[in-house]
C-alpha cells in the first residue's frame, strides 16, 4: 500500500559529519505538503556520533515523517535493501550520507512526481574539496558507458517489484546493475529538472579498484563490453555541442 508519494532513503556508517549535512539539507527544505513524503535513515550501528545526531533530529522534528534504524548490516546494498523494505512510497530516492540537497528543491521534485513519470532526473553537482568540478544530468542511454548516479534520479518503487532488490553479491556496483536491468533500452516516461538539485561528494567506494572490477564484469554480463564503440557518434556530438545548448534543445523538446 502506497502511503506516500516519495520515500527518501539515506544509508550511513561512521560518517557523522556527512550524515548531519545530509539530514540538514532534507530537514531545512520548504515543502508545501510534508505528508507527501517520508524520510528513512539506515545506520549500520555507527561507533561515532551518528546515533546521537539521528536522535536529535528525531526529537526536534515536528513536521517530517522521519524514522531511523541503527543496527549492523552486511554492506552498502544490504543497508539500501533494508531501507527499501521499510518504504511505503510510490517513488524512491537514494540520498546517501554526505550528499546533500540544494535549498528548496524538494518541492519541485514532488510537483514533477505528481505527473507520474517512470524516472525523474535532475542535475548533479560533483563536488571535491576545491568545489564543484562538474554539473550534469545522466540519462539511461549513458548506461552503455557508465553509471547514472542514484543521487540524480527518483524512480518508481515498482521497478523493484519487477527487477528485484539490489544484488548484495556486489559490494560497489549493484546500483549500476539494477539501472541496466530496469532502465537501459526501455520505453520510459522521463521528466527532467534542468537545474542543480543535489551535491554529490566525489570519492568513496564508487571510485575504488573493486568498483571498477564489478562495473566491468556487469558490462560483460549484460553485453555492454562493446557499447563504447557503438556510441562514437554520440561522443563526437557531445564533444562539439556545449552542455548548455543541449539543455536548451532538451527544454524545447519538453
158-194 pLDDT, tens digit each: 999 999 999 999 999 999 999 999 999 999 999 999 9
pLDDT more than 70, % of the chain: 85
Task: Look at residue 249 and tell me whether its pLDDT is greater than 80.
Answer: no
Mean pLDDT, residues 100-129 taken together: 96
Q: What is the fold of 4-253?
A: Spore Coat Polysaccharide Biosynthesis Protein SpsA; Chain A (3.90.550)
Do the beta carbons of residue 171 and residue 97 sit within 8 Å? no
Do the beta carbons of residue 11 and residue 93 sit within 8 Å? no
What per-residue string of b and e applies to 139-162 under the rule 16 or more CB within 10 Å gives b?
bbebbbeebbbbbbbbbbbebbee
- pTM of the model as a whole: 0.87
pLDDT of residue 238: 45
| Mean per-residue pLDDT of the chain | 88
Beta strands in 71-216 (DSSP E): 89-94, 100-101, 119-128, 131-136, 153-156, 190-201
Task: Look at residue 227 and tell me whether its pLDDT is greater than 80.
Answer: no
Mean pLDDT, residues 215-242 taken together: 64
Burial of 185 (0-12, 13-18, 19+ CB in 10 A): exposed
Do the beta carbons of residue 108 and residue 197 sit within 8 Å? yes
pLDDT of residue 231: 46
Q: How far apart are CA 202 and CA 23, in angstroms?
A: 18
pLDDT of residue 104: 96
pLDDT more than 90, % of the chain: 76
Mean pLDDT, residues 19-29 taken together: 97
Mean pLDDT, residues 43-49 taken together: 96
pLDDT of residue 80: 97
Do the beta carbons of residue 191 and residue 112 sit within 8 Å? yes
pLDDT of residue 202: 82
pLDDT of residue 133: 83
Task: Look at residue 21 and tell me whether its pLDDT is greater than 60.
Answer: yes
Boundaries of every domain in the chain: 4-253
Q: How far apart are CA 78 and CA 42, in angstroms?
A: 10
Task: Look at residue 208 and tell me whether its pLDDT is greater than 80.
Answer: no
Amino acid at each position: 500500500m502506497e502511503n506516500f508519494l516519495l520515500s527518501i532513503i539515506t544509508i550511513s556508517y561512521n560518517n557523522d559529519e556527512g550524515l548531519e549535512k545530509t539530514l540538514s539539507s532534507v530537514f531545512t527544505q520548504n515543502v508545501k505538503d510534508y505528508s507527501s513524503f517520508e524520510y528513512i535513515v539506515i545506520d549500520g550501528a555507527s561507533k561515532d556520533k551518528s546515533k546521537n545526531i539521528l536522535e536529535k533530529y528525531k526529537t526536534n522534528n515536528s513536521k517530517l515523517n522521519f524514522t531511523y534504524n541503527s543496527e549492523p548490516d552486511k554492506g552498502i546494498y544490504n543497508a539500501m535493501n533494508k531501507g527499501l523494505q521499510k518504504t511505503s512510497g510510490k517513488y524512491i530516492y537514494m540520498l546517501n550520507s554526505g550528499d546533500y540537497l540544494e535549498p528548496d528543491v524538494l518541492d519541485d521534485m514532488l510537483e514533477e512526481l505528481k505527473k507520474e513519470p517512470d524516472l525523474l532526473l535532475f542535475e548533479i553537482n560533483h563536488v571535491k574539496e576545491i568545489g564543484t568540478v562538474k554539473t550534469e544530468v545522466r540519462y539511461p542511454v549513458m548506461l552503455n558507458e557508465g553509471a547514472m548516479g542514484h543521487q540524480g534520479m527518483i524512480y518508481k518503487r515498482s521497478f523493484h517489484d519487477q527487477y528485484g532488490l539490489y544484488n548484495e553479491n556486489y559490494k560497489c556496483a549493484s546500483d549500476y546493475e539494477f539501472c541496466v536491468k530496469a532502465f537501459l533500452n526501455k520505453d520510459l516516461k522521463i521528466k527532467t529538472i534542468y537545474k542543480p538539485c543535489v551535491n554529490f561528494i566525489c570519492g568513496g567506494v564508487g571510485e575504488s579498484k573493486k568498483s571498477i572490477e564489478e562495473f566491468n564484469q556487469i558490462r560483460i554480463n549484460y553485453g555492454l563490453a562493446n557499447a563504447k564503440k557503438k556510441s562514437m557518434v554520440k561522443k563526437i556530438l557531445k564533444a562539439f555541442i556545449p552542455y548548455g545548448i543541449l539543455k536548451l534543445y532538451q527544454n524545447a523538446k519538453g
